[in-house]
Amino acid sequence: MNAIAVVAALVAAAIHVFFFVLESLRFERPETYHRFFVENEADAEVIRPWAFNQGFYNLFLAIGAVGGALALAAGQVDVGRALVLLACGSMAAAGIVLLATDRRFARPALIQAVPPLIAIVFLFA
């Protein structure tokens, strides 16, 4: 077990739980949807179902990363690596897609992608 990989996976999970809260629980609030460059309430209402779904996607990835970290801590190295690799690989790939989609999202893309990439690198260190 590599402690840096576990900590990075848990940080990535926490970030994705935060995304879940923003996208699924708080998206109707102007201070939240403005973070996503949605300018008005009418547009937010149209986008809200997609954001709600995306938030749960992020929550499920977080659960996978936490499950992998717990498995690693319990000595189930193969299971832990597989779960962390799947969850964190998906998180990192989504961050890369976000960056490629719109450069205005560079900061959130890095926040989304860097911790899981660190976890992946240190899984095999």
Give per-residue pLDDT as tens, 33-81: 998 889 999 999 999 999 999 999 999 999 999 999 999 989 999 999 9
The number of distinct structural domains making up the chain is 1
Domain membership of residue 66 (yes or no) is yes
Domain membership of residue 86 (yes or no) is yes
Domain membership of residue 11 (yes or no) is yes
Domain membership of residue 92 (yes or no) is yes
pLDDT digits (tens, 9 = 90+) for 82-120: 999 999 999 999 999 999 999 999 999 999 999 999 999
Domain membership of residue 32 (yes or no) is no
Domain membership of residue 13 (yes or no) is yes
Would the pTM of this model clear 0.85, i.e. be above it? yes
Domain membership of residue 36 (yes or no) is no
Cβ neighbours of residue 72 closer than 8 Å, sequence gap 6 or more: 1, 2, 5, 6, 80, 81, 84
Domain membership of residue 15 (yes or no) is yes
